[in-house]
Amino acid sequence: MSIKDRLAAKAAGIGSNPRSPRPEPEIPSRPKTAPGQLMASLPLLAEKERELEVLRTRLEELEVGAAGGSSDEIARLKKELADAQQSGAAIDIRLLDLHEVPGRRRHMPPEKYAELRENLRHNKLIHPIVVLPRSEGGFEILSGHHRTDALRELGRESVRCVVVDATTEEADEGAFFANLMQSDLTDYEKYVGLKRFQQTHANLKQAEIAGRIGISQSYVSLLLSYDRLPNAARAVLEANVGIVGATAAAELASLSELGKSERVVEAILQVSVGKLDQAQAVRFAKDGDRTKVTKPLATTFKVKAGKTTWCDVRRAKNVMRIEFQSEEVAQSVQDAIKRTLEGLASAARGELRDEES
């Protein structure tokens, strides 16, 4: 077969065995639970607010005659604006009418909060606060606790809010699910949220809770280790939520169950005042008095001859070390040091005899 014939045969085969079509891209499924649906909708609120702002601006231009719109267009925009406001767009609410529900606040380090406050001092709020109506009046904050705090500190009287429709249980679960996925949330705060969720779903086993939340059962078990700590230890952690992670908490909880509860509480107290880190706390609780709380600090100073260092002196507890610049210098002062020490020892003996007489 000639080259021409072979090329013709290849050309004839093109398309006779087409590649399998690419699968359609998988469309993420919408969350099935009410809390999941609630939290999934939050990123859309800022976009809805921007659309609403465009409508307001356009309506203002038409009403003042700047854009030359007809009365029909003005009426249409007013209706569109009203419909948008009823469908979850932002409204102004007094800060006095916003109330916090324990367990919904997301952790934020102090330095990040300071950045947020200064940003809001000079810039407009982009993401509205998400709130729920209260039966007794006012609104519960679902999302935006730190923005609310910052605006209060800045002396603002009202804030843009989006009012959503959800039950208290859905709101609490939604906040918990959102908080659990935050990388800057401390392990202890995750435990607090997980414990609250467990109490409201007493019929669920750990494996079912893990599946419901979307984390591993081993991680659920690790977080619940805080539950096994003595009450006094958890009281310290309530005031210092970031000092002991879940892994260290699990080790300390096991030691507590072995009868070392007092040592565990003392170890966590030492961590809270900065005398121990987490690893040292575990050793402290395990080994008792054999673990040193703090290492003795060495005292050092230099003796100079003009601008040149003549010797370095270092003392740690009852040990003193003198280092000279050369062996010759060390030999030359050895006798002088000996005489000085003997004189001090003689004086000490005299003081001792005086005390005994």
Higher-confidence residue of 356 and 322: namely: 322
Which range has the top average pLDDT, 39-43, 158-162, 179-183?
A: 158-162
pLDDT tens sequence across 260-289: 999 999 999 999 999 999 999 999 999 865
Q: What was the pLDDT predicted at 158?
A: 93
Instruction: Find the angle CA(219)-CA(259)-CA(267) to the nearest 5 degrees.
Output: 70
Residues 175 and 142 sit within 8 Å (Cβ to Cβ): yes
The two beta strands, 319-324 and 139-143, are unpaired
Which range has the top average pLDDT, 234-238, 324-328, 349-353?
A: 234-238
Look at the pTM and tell me if it is higher than 0.75.
Answer: no
pLDDT tens sequence across 3-43: 445 444 544 444 444 444 444 444 344 444 444 444 444 44
Residues 195 and 124 sit within 8 Å (Cβ to Cβ): no
Q: What's the average model confidence in pLDDT over 71-96?
A: 68
The two beta strands, 139-143 and 158-163, are unpaired
Identity of the amino acid at 138: G
Chain center to CA of 237:
15
Residues 277 and 271 sit within 8 Å (Cβ to Cβ): yes
From first CA to last CA, the distance across the chain in angstroms is 128
Lowest mean pLDDT across 35-44, 156-165, 247-256, 285-294: 35-44
Q: What was the pLDDT predicted at 146?
A: 93
Token pair, residue 250, equals: 């699990």
Distances (CA, A) of 329 to 99, 172, 325: 75, 75, 7
Rg of the Cα atoms in the chain: 35
Strands (E), 258-334: 299-305, 308-316, 319-324
Identity of the amino acid at 106: R
pLDDT tens sequence across 61-75: 666 554 555 677 667
What residues pair up with 159 in beta bridges, in sequence order? 93
The two beta strands, 129-133 and 91-94, are unpaired
Could you give all domains of the chain from N- to C-terminal order, each with its CATH number?
34-168 (3.90.1530.10), 186-288 (1.10.10.2830)
DSSP-derived secondary structure letter, 69: -
Lowest mean pLDDT across 8-12, 45-49, 95-99, 114-118: 8-12
Percentage of the chain beyond pLDDT 70 is: 69
Chain center to CA of 25:
34
Q: What's the average model confidence in pLDDT over 72-98?
A: 70
List all residues 6 or more positions away from 68 whose beta carbon is below 8 Å from its beta carbon: 62
Lowest mean pLDDT across 37-46, 79-88, 315-324: 37-46
Burial 71-109 (b: 16+ CB within 10 A, else e): eeeeeebeeebeebeeebbbeebebeebeebeebbebbe
**Number of neighbours of residue 151 by Cβ within 10 angstroms:** 21
- Give residue for tokens 């009202």: 158
Which ranges constitute the DSSP H helices of 87-167? 110-122, 145-153
What rounded mean pLDDT belongs to the chain? 78
Residue 48's pLDDT band, with cuts at 50, 70 and 90, is low
Residues 248 and 187 sit within 8 Å (Cβ to Cβ): no
- Give residue for tokens 């006095």: 96
- Give residue for tokens 């099935």: 32
